[in-house]
Structure 1
C-alpha cells in the first residue's frame, strides 16, 4: 500500500547529497527514509518500507562506487532513472564562529579529498573523517562545537542553522555525482526509454568482449559506461556493467538479441530515460544555489 508521498530511501540523513538528488528527481514533496548504509536502502525497498531508492554510483573525480554495482545485481530491483548532481562543497560552522577559531574539519572522506587544494593552504587544520556530510553538519549543531567546521552542501547549512564561512571549496568546479533511481517492479514508469544499464559475462577467450562491443557499434548504440568486477570465487571471470544509449529503439532491441549469443548471465538492470549531464549547468554565483522551499520555511520558523 503506497502513501501519498513517495517514500525515498537514501544512504545518510536529510540534507545530504542523496536527498538533494532525490529532490531533483521526485520534487520536494517526498518522505525521506534515512539509512545507515546502501544495503539498508535496498532492505527498506525489499521490505516495502520505501517505494524508491536513490543511490550514488559514480563521481567524476572519485570514480565508481564498486560495492553498489554488486547491490544492483544481488537485489535485482530495476533502475528507473538517473540524476547527475553538481557537487558544491561549502565550509560551515555555528553562527559567530570565526575561521581563526577552527581546529577541526569533518566530512565524508570523498568530500575531503575533493577539497585538497583548499586544505593545502591551511595545514594547521586537523581532518576528521566521518560517514556522511550532512551528519557532520548536524553534529556541530547538536553538540554546539565551536572549534569544528563541516564540509557539506547548502541544504545542510540551512537545515542545521550553520553559517557558511567559505563557499565552493571543491578543487574541481565541474564535479558531478551520478545517482541511480531504483524501484519495485510495479513502480517502473511507462516512458520512452533511451538508456539501459546491462550486466553480463563473456567467455575467457580472445575477442569475446570485442564481439559484444562491436555489436553496440554496428547498431549505433553509444556505450557511455563500462565497469568490470570479478565474479566472487571464480578465477578470471568478470561481470561487465555497461550503460548504453540509443536514438532508435529497434536498434537497441536488435543489439540485445545479438549479444545474447555471446554472453552468459545476461541481465537488464534497468531501462530508463537518460538525464542530460549538460543540463546541470553550474551557477555563475554560488549565492544563486537553489534551496528547497521546505528548508527555507524551516529556517524562518526556527
Structure 2
C-alpha cells in the first residue's frame, strides 16, 4: 500500500473504523474523518479519498442495512474485507476513581453491548454520543472528572485516558465486519476467492431457490444472504449475497447460469477472503 493512502472513515481518529483501517492497510495511511457513512461515500466519489472503510455487519447488532444501499447506489467496488474484535473499555482522566463516576458516554450501539455491566451500577447515568472515540476526546478536552467513556484502547492512548475497567462488553465474541470500498473496479492483485453480489428475481414460486441451487450445484458456498425491499416497489426485493469458492471456474460458471434467472445482477466486488478476527 503506497505511503499516504487516503482512507475515509465514519467517525474520528481512534474510532473502531480507524482501527479497522489500520488493521487492513497498516498505520502508514491518512485517515479522513467523516460525520456519516454518506459523507465517506461523497469523499470517495469526489476523489478526496482512495478508499472507504465501511462497517457492514456486527455479530450482535446485525447488518447495517443502509450501507448496502449506499454501496449499490454509488456503484463502488468492494475490494476487500476486515473483521475486528470489538473490545470495549471504561476510560477516564488520570486520577479519576471509579467511585467518582456519575456519567458514562458512548455510541448507542456500544452502550447496548455493555448493558450487563451497567446493571450493577444504577447510579451511573448513561449518555449517548455520536462516536465512541469522540466521547473519549470530549473527556480530555473538557477535563471531565465525573465522566467515563466506553471506547477502544486506541482512544485511550490518543486522548491520554486511563482504562479503569477492561472488556466490559457483555458478549466477548463481539466482532464487526468492515468492507473496503474503491471508486474504480480495477483488477484485484490478490488471489480472489470471495465475492459480494446483488440481484433481483421475479416474484413467483421457486424463483430464488432456482438461483441459490445454481450456486450449490457449482460448489459455490453462500456465506451470507441479505434481502432488502426495493424502495417504492411492493413485493420486490434486492438480494445481497456473499459467496466463497475454491475453484474460480466454478464461480464463473455459476454467475453465467444465474444471469439467466435474475434481473439487475451486479457484482459489487471480487476480493480475497479475510475473516481472521
Question: TM-score, normalising length from structure 1?
Answer: 0.90
Task: Check if 1:127 corresponds to 2:118.
Answer: no
Matched residue, 1:67: 66
Matches within 5 A, 1:1-80: 4-80=3-79
1:177-223, Cα deviation, whole Å (9 max, x unpaired): 00000112165532210000000001110011000111111111111
Measure how far apart 1:276 and its partner are: 2.7
Change (3 A) 1:187 1:136: farther
* Counterpart-to-counterpart distance in 1, 2:183 and 2:235: 33
- Alpha-carbon distance change, 3 to 213 in structure 1, aligned in 2, over 3 angstroms: closer
Aligned equivalent of 2:159? 160
Q: Give SS of 2:122's match.
A: coil
Residue in 2 aligned with 1:293? none
CA distance in 1: counterparts of 2:57 and 2:172, whole angstroms: 17
Quote how far apart the aligned CAs of 1:125 are. 1.1
- CA-CA distance at 1:246 after TM superposition: 0.3
CA RMSD of aligned residues (A): 1.2
Aligned to 1:107: 106
Any gaps of 5 or more consecutive residues in structure 2?
none
2:210 corresponds in structure 1 to 211
TM-superposed deviation, 1:103: 0.8
The residue matched to 2:104 in structure 1 has which SS?
Answer: strand
Separation of aligned partners in 2, 1:180 and 1:47: 19
> How far apart in 2 are the matches of 1:21 and 1:44?
18
In the alignment, which residue of structure 2 is the partner of 1:220? 219
| In structure 1, C-alpha distance between the alignment counterparts of 2:254 and 2:2, rounded to whole Å | 39
Contact 1:14 1:134 in 2 (8 A): yes
Partner of 2:170: 171
Q: With structure 2 as the length reference, what TM-score do the two structures score?
A: 0.98
The separation in 2 between residues aligned to 1:212 and 1:202, in whole angstroms, is 8
Q: Which residue of 2 aligns with 1:263?
A: 262
Contact 2:3 2:28 in 1 (8 A): no
Match of 1:248 in 2: 247
> 1:276 aligns to what?
275
SS in 1 for 2:145: coil
Match of 1:289 in 2: none
Shift, 1:124, TM fit: 1.3
Which ranges in structure 1 are unaligned for 5 or more consecutive residues? 281-302
The size of the alignment, in residue pairs, is 277
